[in-house]
Amino acid sequence: MIAELGHFALILALFVSAVQATLPLIGAHRGDAGWMAVARPAALMQFLLVAVAFGCLMNLYITSDFSVLNVAQNSHTDKPLIYKISGVWGNHEGSMLLWVLILALFGSAVAAFGANLPPSLRARVLSIQALIAVGFYLFILLTSNPFERLIPAPINGNDLNPLLQDPGLAFHPPMLYLGYVGFSMAFSFAIAALIEGRVDAAWARWVRPWTLAAWCFLTAGIGLGSWWAYYELGWGGWWYWDPVENASFMPWLAGTALLHSATVVEKRDTLKGWTILLAIITFSMSLLGTFLVRSGVLTSVHAFATDPTRGVFILILLIIVIGGSLALYAWRGPQLISTGLFQPISREGGLLFNNLVMATATAVVLLGTLYPLLLDAVGGGKVSVGPPFFNAVFIPIMLPMIVVMAVGPMLNWKRGDWRAAVTRLWPAMVAALLAAVGAWALVTDGPFLGIVGMALAAWLAVGTLVELTERLRLRRDGLGRALGRLARQPRASWGMTLAHLGLAVTIAGMTGAGAWVKESIQVMAPGDTVTLAGYEFRFDGAQDGQGPNYAFTAGHFTVSKGGRVLVVLDPEKRVYNVSGQPTTEAGIEPTLLGDIYAVIGDRGTTPEGKPGFVTRLYFNPLVAWMWGGLMIMIAGGALSLSDRRHRVGAPARRAAVAQTAGAD
């Protein structure tokens, strides 16, 4: 009954979105207020219906109704409640349902909070959102129905992939999807603007908060995924350039570019065509990610649906949405007139440089991800492009951007003086030099890139702080007045400062963890001691046990430094009852300087012939900085989002102020 109810609600949502996709669009074309007004109630109704469908599926999972195919394939009665809930989106059908739920959520947010939007723009935006939704409802209902019955019902289910039974991963997909799908807002606004033929500062001010919100969620989602890979896969690594990771990274890169170019549109009335194109590209990357993951054209650990019919469906959807929007762009784009002129050396120039680098980086990741596919299409067979390619190409592209990142905010709009800016950045240069020398002195045997990374992190962090003191006019007006200005800084500029600082901290973390990791792999018998990076790991033995739906072997390590016991680590190796699949739970002690990380493996024999266990011990320097830096970046985004000019009702009042502020 519940399954049929959910199925029915989903079909109704399809019809509502079909209405929402057509009537308001026609109404906006004809200038018919009544037809345009359909958009808001339709968007709210659509969200309500999808929410009902999603609630039904969740109910089926919680009650373990195995007469539903999807539940039987992905759940089990022994599974803890939280994984019954996360199991809803831990599979293809359910995750697509989550996708449309979030799409409808964003649409209803425009309907609810978009009172200050011009009616025709709002109607068009909601129609475009609904057009995307129609495509995805059809996809779910025709190829991936989560409510399909299984008669007769099995006694128990197949269980969720054990790797996915993890708190970090339970909330990774919703975050990621809030990011992916959030970019649909920027896309819908871009298409609506192309139809209206007008892009102005007000448009950019409406687009930015949505993009920013999506960006924050996507950053959090990528961070969670990386964190999960770090402690669950048990390799001490945190980024593998896996196609699915890349699929989430490409919209992030393009979205970051979009955030910056939208600022230029808002403040300087230029780069309009480019910003629209970026909005289209960013969401296209989200869709492309969905296609790559769902169609099975690329091999990946994450790919849980590999079905060619679905692939064909998504490809057609891609061609309609991306091809259609790019065709519209080719037709209407040249009519967008930019009024603001600027010199290459200027704030706009710096932001444009950021955009070019981000776009190039997106293209590189896209090429690396698709290369196996492209090669296969011309008869080259299936291959895997690994981290060697990405590290060799991606990192050099990003380095100049970090250098410019500290300079750009110091430049004036329109025409800047890079010599003056660089001169004032002397503290950053000193910091970079000190960091390089410090890194070289501390880790004499590390790779050269480690020294470069640390220098860049210091350069960016101090450069960002220099820019802050400039903005506060600390040197000219003294500490007292500067502190007064500090309190009055708009939250948006705090957001920028925090986000850039966060990236600096993240770079330091990635450099430390990437370049200076120490590891030791061996068979240890109880009582054996291994010294790694100055820490003594004593293996105290292991014992077997039984978890809720798995059997485990838990090892115990006492870690001490200079004779003083620091921590006891208890890594586990689990074997899940239903699937028989083993997973690793690393024992990790995070510290500010680095993570002490231990993994227990299979039974083995030590060189002396004693029975023991294979153990992998790591010291991962500065890993905590990476997660910390990501959190600072997200906090920066959230702070900027709470800026008063983004709040309901504020844009209209602040528009005049912002324009004069932009001109000075």
Partner 1 sequence: MKSRLLYLLPLGLFLVLALYFAVGLTKDPKIIPSALIDKPAPEFTLPPVAGGKTPGFATADLKKGRVSVVNVFASWCVPCRAEHPEINKLAKMGIVPVYGLNYKDTPQAARAWLDKLGDNYTATGADESGRVGIDWGVYGVPETFIVDGTGRIRFKHVGPIVGDKLEKEILPLIRSIQETGK
Cβ distance 556 to 547 under 8 Å?
no
CB of 479 to partner 1, least distance (A): 51
- Distance of alpha carbon 594 from alpha carbon 509, whole angstroms: 9
- Distance of alpha carbon 151 from alpha carbon 145, whole angstroms: 16
Cβ distance 35 to 2 under 8 Å?
no
Cis peptide before 152 (omega within 30 of 0): yes
**Structure tokens belonging to residue 469:** 């003191």
Q: Which residues have a Cβ under 8 Å from the Cβ of 379 and sit 6 or more positions away? A: none
Name the residue type at position 622.
Answer: L
Nearer to partner 1, 366 or 496 (CB): 366
Nearer to partner 1, 312 or 565 (CB): 312
- Distance of alpha carbon 68 from alpha carbon 148, whole angstroms: 6
Nearer to partner 1, 97 or 322 (CB): 322
Q: Which residues have a Cβ under 8 Å from the Cβ of 322 and sit 6 or more positions away? A: 280, 284, 287, 288
Cβ distance 510 to 626 under 8 Å?
yes
CB of 67 to partner 1, least distance (A): 30
Nearer to partner 1, 361 or 634 (CB): 361
Nearer to partner 1, 242 or 643 (CB): 242
Identify the H or E element spanning 619: strand 611-621
In the complex, the residues that contact partner 1 under the rule CB under 8 A are: 234-235, 240-243, 273, 277, 280-281, 284, 291, 295, 297, 299-301, 308, 311-312, 315, 318-319, 322-323, 326-327, 329-330, 333-334, 370, 372-388, 519, 521, 584, 601-602, 614, 616
Nearer to partner 1, 299 or 529 (CB): 299
Question: What value, to the nearest 5°, has the Cα angle with vertex 168 and ends 163 and 170?
Answer: 75
CB of 145 to partner 1, least distance (A): 21
Q: CB 421: neighbour CB atoms within 10 A?
A: 22
Nearer to partner 1, 26 or 614 (CB): 614
- Could you write out the three-class secondary structure of 238-269? CCCCCHHHHHHHHHHHHHHHHHHHHHHHHHHC
Nearer to partner 1, 133 or 244 (CB): 244
CB of 234 to partner 1, least distance (A): 8
CB of 147 to partner 1, least distance (A): 27
CB of 40 to partner 1, least distance (A): 32
CB of 198 to partner 1, least distance (A): 17
Nearer to partner 1, 321 or 407 (CB): 321
Identify the H or E element spanning 555: strand 550-561
CB of 347 to partner 1, least distance (A): 25
- Distance of alpha carbon 24 from alpha carbon 43, whole angstroms: 11
CB of 371 to partner 1, least distance (A): 9
Closest CA to 348 of 337, 335, 339, 361: 339
Identify the H or E element spanning 61: helix 39-62
Going 155 to 158 to 159 to 160, the CA torsion angle's sign is negative
Nearer to partner 1, 154 or 386 (CB): 386
The phi-psi region of residue 207 (left if phi > 0; otherwise alpha if psi is between -120 and 50; otherwise beta) is alpha
Closest CA to 18 of 127, 150, 156, 177: 127
CB of 443 to partner 1, least distance (A): 17
Nearer to partner 1, 66 or 550 (CB): 550
Closest CA to 144 of 370, 273, 305: 305
Nearer to partner 1, 394 or 494 (CB): 394
- Distance of alpha carbon 4 from alpha carbon 149, whole angstroms: 9
- Distance of alpha carbon 49 from alpha carbon 418, whole angstroms: 55
Which is it for strands 587-590 and 594-605: parallel, antiparallel or unpaired? Answer: antiparallel
CB of 312 to partner 1, least distance (A): 6
Cβ distance 597 to 588 under 8 Å?
yes
CB of 130 to partner 1, least distance (A): 23
CB of 250 to partner 1, least distance (A): 13
Cβ distance 451 to 433 under 8 Å?
no
CB of 261 to partner 1, least distance (A): 15
How many residues does the structure list for the chain?
664
**Structure tokens belonging to residue 166:** 């993890």
- Distance of alpha carbon 20 from alpha carbon 122, whole angstroms: 12
Nearer to partner 1, 377 or 652 (CB): 377
Nearer to partner 1, 329 or 413 (CB): 329
50 phi, psi to nearest 5 deg = -65, -35
CB of 79 to partner 1, least distance (A): 25
DSSP, res 149: B
Nearer to partner 1, 320 or 483 (CB): 320
